[in-house]
Structure 1
Amino acid sequence: MAYPKPKIPIQPVLSLESFNLNRDDGDVPSVLHARHAKFVTSGRIAIAMALQQMGIGKGDTVMLPAYHCPAMVEPVIWSGATPIFYKIHPDTSVDLNDVQGKLDASVKLLIVAHYFGFPQDLLKISDFCNQHALYLLEDCAHCFFGKYKNKPLGTYGDYAIASTMKFFPVYEGGCLVSDRHHINLSPLNSAGLGFEVKATLNTLEKSFEYGRMKWLQKILFAPMWLKDFIWKSVKRKASLGKVSIGPGASDGGFGFEAKWLGKQSAFFSRYLIKHVSRARIVSERRKNYIILQEALSGLPGCRPLFSGLPEDVIPQVFPLIVNEPEKIFPILKNAGVPIIRFGEFLWDGVDATVCSASVDLSRHLLQFPCHQELRAEEQAWMIAQIRKVFLSI
């Protein structure tokens, strides 16, 4: 079913406030505190590169959480390794007993995900991996920022991956980091002028689409009109499979595109990651999450996944468990409320016999944006829509 475009941005969009030069970024903890980092075009590409760094391939087994996005699994399949799925608990924590019960000599790597920005028990998991001679890969797609036991997320594992476009106002991007190992890669190359232009223009267009930087939109009216004229031909060729100038991950697609290996994130994306205010990202996300927590707690037919927001957690989204999502979801989507459904589609064969908690989360967990670029009136409108629906069902 086709739903209308969300009335407020589901991901961060660029604004003048993004830079907020009056804030002191100081030493904001993030995955970039790892000693080695490479910026690439998506998180799934970063996973594939991590597998290459660890020498994992045919004949090896990789253990992944049963609650996942297909983009976590596709690089494993591409590498030739075999994915095995382990249980998580209803609060998304790793079930290490299930992991241990599935270990054999072929298992080389454990991937753990810090769902929605809330960290796993990394001390316990790190000890487990050391005891069993396993590599540990932190999937930080949901937690670019944050700490666990006074140490930045992404610095516990052998490697970590992150998704920059979930936290920064950029069109594309991911990164591979390691605090333990050098990342031995040939120099990353640009994906070409078309990609660089698209990454820049898509970032600006999304900003204009949601009413940000209108002064710049007026200045760029003529060149943007010309771009649209040219772009129609390019997009037509892309739809016919003749040309692809952007990673599918940036456009919400599934599938692993190996051609993006060895390509670095666009210059404009890297520029924004370096220059936007990280302190603002952290403070605004926490503030918006708490507003949602206070407004939606106690509503009939739903409950927040987590009871509170620990001090060192920088949330990606606000996750809400919904008793009857089949009723709630279409109403909110048709109203233009932005909803994310991580793990909506699990890998073939992952069912309740593999992990009942994962299936329940897949079906019943909806996520709402709490990113730093939400305006107060946008968040108030979203909350009013959500409350109205739950109070009327």
Structure 2
Amino acid sequence: MSFSDVKPHAVSHDAVPPEPAAFPRSRLPVSPRLSVAALASLRYLGARPVPSILDAGTARFVTSGRVAIALALREMGVGAGDAVLVPSYHCASMIEPVIWAGATPVFYRIRPDTSVDLDDIAAKIDGRTRVLMATNYFGFHQPLAALRTLCDARGIQLLEDCAHSFLGEHQGRPLGSFGDYAIASSMKFFPVYEGGCLVSSRHPLDAVRLQSAGLGFEAKVVLNTVEDGFAYGRLPVLRALLAVPMMAKNALWGRIKATRHGAVQALAPGSSDGGFGFDPAWLTKRSSVFSRALVKIVSRRRMGELRRRNYQRLQTALAGLPGCRPLFNTLPDGVYPWVFPLLCDEPQVLFRGLKQDGVPVIRFGEYLWPGVDATVCATSVDLSRRVLQFPCHQELRKDELDWMIEQVRQHVRRGAPGVSS
């Protein structure tokens, strides 16, 4: 089957949830938002930083993880007639760059704990295979040493997908250092509006030449990052000071859109607003000055400690709920999770109820690529349907985390037979 001319679609779920626009805005931030605490983490000054992909090798900062994947494939010489092994549990952002490169995605199986099926990978390597993409799901690493050994033995390259694992280490090495190339998404871990990176511990990145996307892009990133913080009660003093200029900006932008009938050129990649689609125009653009500065300024130690603490709080609080269990039994040392994944027996009703009440729940891999069904990997279809993810990022306040936990408990018990809330 050719995958070059098709779009992602929903796997055969019990029911596809409504479009995001049908739900109210989340009452808590799904991803980190800029706050005073993020910028003034004085007690973390001088502390040993948590290992991250930036410790793995030379880095190039781009506008998204999907752009970084495309650049990695280009650097690895992937083109027409080649095959790229990709996990059957995925999002469109992982597959679209493969299609753009002219290659064919070949989907391999994963296990219920999201670890790769090494035997299935080995069986699917053939003369066309150029690259194996391995994803550290939700921040939990794959058997990276074994994957490295397999790739070296079979003469293919390893692309380490750290979109969920900007932070972390394995066997004393930072995640991102096992692959020929590695990619990450800054937006999932830092309070930034856009950002991703391409890293290599094995190859120079001199051929990856990037340029600014322009003053409009730089200004939009600053404004959107600050406004996202305002939207969830962060930076209250700055919000008060900028109230009048922000109102003027919104009025001016609304007038521009009206006079151009809504057809205004995008100043930032669609990925920053949660959009689908891969736009090659951003392959030559570097991440904004503002986002790159925040990646340097924000304390990785604080980020790592608070993510682990929030994750463990969720794991303890949601353990034992009827019809649900954490996807991972433990939180190993060296793992700094992206989100908290919960495996649910009745995900559709629970998802809709939580979204309707403003709980920030997401579903990674909800839409699998056409042709990826239970015959390809039943586990991937099951996880795409049953795993709900809840934020555990460093900018959640205690009262917000407590509210989210109580909402999840109430909705789960409400839907469980014979259990009253």
> TM-score scaled by structure 1?
0.98
Residues 284 and 238 of structure 1: CA distance in aligned 2, closer, same or farther (over 3 Å): farther
Displacement, 1:21? 2.0
Structure 2 unaligned spans of 5+? 1-17, 416-421
The letter for the 2-side match of 1:22 is R
Q: CA deviation at 1:240?
A: 4.3
Amino acid at match of 1:11: S
- Relative distance call for 1:234 and 1:308 in structure 2 (3 A) is farther
The reply on whether 1:306 has 2:318 as its aligned counterpart is: no
* 1:225-265 C-alpha deviation (Å, 9 max, x unpaired): 12111222455589844411110111111111000011000
Q: Is 2:189 the counterpart of 1:172?
A: no
SS of 1:22's equivalent? helix
Spell out the pairing of 1:16-95 with structure 2 (5 A cutoff). Answer: 16-19=36-39, 20-24=41-45, 25-95=47-117
Deviations 1:67-126 (A, max 9, x none): 001000000000101111000001100101111111110000000000000000111110
Deviations 1:140-183 (A, max 9, x none): 00000010111100001000000000000000000000011101
Residues 98/239 of structure 1: CA separation in 2 closer, same or farther (3 Å cut): farther
Does the 8 Å contact 1:351/1:359 carry over to 2?
yes
The 8 Å contact of residues 238 and 244 in structure 1, kept in 2 or not, is answered as no
Match for residue 34 of structure 2 among 14, 18, 33: 14
Secondary structure at the counterpart of residue 355 of structure 1: helix
- 1:155 matched to which residue of 2? 177
- Deviation for aligned residue 1:187: 3.2
The 2-side partners of 1:354 and 1:145 are apart by: 31
Correspondence 1:228-307 to 2 at 5 A: 228-235=250-257, 240-307=262-329
Distance 1:238 1:296 in 2: 49
**1:65, 1:113 within 8 Å by CA — same for their partners in 2?**
yes
* Offset from partner CA, 1:272-327 (integer Å, 9 cap, x none): 11111111100000000000000001000111000010011000000000100111
Contact 1:69/1:342, CA 8 A, preserved across alignment: yes
Q: Give me the whole-angstrom Cα distance separating, in 2, the residues matched to 1:48 and 1:361.
A: 26
Identity of matched residues, %: 55
Q: Is the 8 A contact 1:38 1:175 kept in 2?
A: yes
The residue aligned with 1:365 is 387
Aligned pairs, number: 393
In structure 2, what residue type is equivalent to 1:360?
D
Residue of structure 2 aligned with 1:96, choices 86, 99, 118? 118
CA distance 1:236–1:255, change in 2 (3 Å): farther
The correspondence for 2:150, drawn from 104, 111, 128, is 128
* Paired position in structure 1 for 2:23: 3
The DSSP-based 3-state class of the residue aligned with 1:261 is helix
Question: CA-to-partner distance for each residue in 1:29-84, whole Å, 9 max, x for gaps?
Answer: 00001220000000000000001111111111000000001000000000101111
Closer/same/farther in 2, CA of residues 105 and 301 from structure 1, 3 Å limit: same
Q: Which one of 166, 189, 193 corresponds to residue 144 of structure 1? A: 166
Q: 1:233 to 1:36 in 2, by over 3 A?
A: farther
Query: What residue identity is the alignment partner of 2:361?
Result: I
Residues 358/238 of structure 1: CA separation in 2 closer, same or farther (3 Å cut): farther
Pairwise CA distance, 1:194: 1.2
Q: Counterparts of 2:147 and 2:388 in 1: how far apart (Å)?
A: 27
> Any stretches of 5+ residues in structure 1 without a counterpart?
none
CA displacement at 1:188 relative to structure 2: 1.2
Task: Give the whole-Å Cα distance in 2 for the aligned partners of 1:236 and 1:154.
Answer: 45
Tell me the TM-score normalized by structure 2: 0.91
